[in-house]
Amino acid sequence: MPELSISEVAQRMGLRASAIRYYEQIGVLPRARRVSGRRRYDQTTLERLAVIQRARQAGFSLDEIRQLFFGFARTTRPSERWEKLAQRKLAELEALTQEIESMRTLLQESCGCEALDECGKRLLHHKC
Amino acid sequence: MPELSISEVAQRMGLRASAIRYYEQIGVLPRARRVSGRRRYDQTTLERLAVIQRARQAGFSLDEIRQLFFGFARTTRPSERWEKLAQRKLAELEALTQEIESMRTLLQESCGCEALDECGKRLLHHKC
DNA sequence: GTACAACTTCAAGTCGACTTTAAGTCAAGG
DNA sequence: CCTTGACTTAAAGTCGACTTGAAGTTGTAC
C-alpha cells in the first residue's frame, strides 16, 4: 500500500486538501507524518475519514466527532460512544422535525389578508 | 396612541433593541423617525415586526422578508408575494425533511462494529 | 540554473443574524 | 453644573466549517 499525498487523499475521499488540513488543525485527524515537510497518509487515514464523513452525514458536528475519537474515558468502547452521541442526536432531530412541522403549518395556512399591514394588525391584536 | 422608544418596542415584541437597529440597518424596517436623535415608533412598526416575527418562524431569512416588503414589482400583491416565497420555502422544507430522515436512518442502524477503525474499513471497502 | 507545481504555514475572509463595544449625545433631576 | 441613564453611531466580535491569500519551501524537469 503506497503512501498518499494530501491531494491524493482529498481526491479519493471527495474533499479539498484545505479541509484535511483543517481537520488536523482542530484535532479531528491526528497530526500526519511529514516527509520533507509534506504530509503523508496511509490507509488508516482513509478509513478514519470515511467514519468522519459518515458521522457528518448523520448530523454530528466536528466537535462531536472529535469526542467520538478522543473525548471519552478510555474505558468507554467506541460503539458505546457512538450510541451515546447518537441518542442525543436523535433527540435533536426530533426537535428539529417539530420545528419544521410548525413552519410547514405556518406556510400552508394562508392568512386571508389582502395586504401585509392588515396581516400585521391581525397578528398583533387577534393572534391570527 | 403614544409613540414608543426603541426599548419599549423591543420589550413589547420580545426582542432586543440592537435587533431593531439591525433590522433598520439592513432595510427590513424602514428608517425610523428621530426626535433629537432618538428613534420614535408607532403602532405600524409593531404590526410590521409582528409580520417579521411570523415570517421568521415560518423559516424565511431576513433577506427574503425584505423581498416580501420591498423586493417585487409594485404590481405584485403582498399576498401573492407571500405565496410565491412560501412555495419555495415549502420545497426547501421538503428537502430538509428528507435530509433529516436519512440522518435518522444512519443514527438508528448500529453498524455492528466493535471498534471505529473496523467500522472505517467496512465503510471504505464494503460500503456498509 | 531556473522555472514549475505542489506543497507548507499562519492569518484573514466567508455566511447570517445578531450582539458587543467604544465613544459620543441628550434631557431630566438634584 | 453635573451626573445619570437611555439613547446614538460605526466598527468589530460571535458561531461552525471551511476557504482563500500571502509568502515561503521542496523536489523535479528542462
User: Who among B50, B90, B116 is closest to A123 (CB)?
Assistant: B50
Query: What is the separation of C-alpha A38 from the centre of its chain, rounded to a whole number of angstroms?
Result: 28
User: Tens digit of pLDDT for each residue in A65-124?
Assistant: 998 888 766 666 667 788 888 899 999 999 999 999 999 998 887 666 777 777 778 888
Going through B1-128 in order, the beta strands assigned E by DSSP cover: 33-35, 38-40
Three-state DSSP at B3 gives coil
User: Are A29 and A18 spatial neighbours (Cβ–Cβ below 8 Å)?
Assistant: no
In whole angstroms, C27 C1' to B25 CA is: 26
Asked if residue B45 lies in contact with residue B9, where contact means CB atoms within 8 angstroms, the answer is yes
CA A47 to CA A67: how far, in whole Å? 17
Per-residue pLDDT of chain B (128 residues; tens, 9 = 90+): 689 999 999 999 999 999 999 999 999 999 999 999 999 999 999 999 999 999 999 999 999 999 888 776 666 666 778 888 889 999 999 999 999 999 999 888 766 677 777 787 888 887 55
> Are the Cβ atoms of A107 and B93 closer than 8 angstroms?
yes
Closest partner CB to B58 (pick from A86, A107, A115): A107
- Distance, CA of A40 to CA of A7 (rounded, Å): 10
Nearest CA in chain A to B79: A114
pLDDT tens-digit series, residues A4-57: 999 999 999 999 999 999 999 999 999 999 999 999 999 999 999 999 999 999
Tens of pLDDT, residue by residue over B11-48, are 999 999 999 999 999 999 999 999 999 999 999 999 99
- Chain A residues 51-110 with CB within 8 Å of chain B: 51, 54, 57-59, 68-69, 77-79, 82-83, 86, 89-90, 93, 96-97, 100, 102-104, 106-108, 110
The structure's pTM equals 0.86
C-alpha cell at A21: 488540513
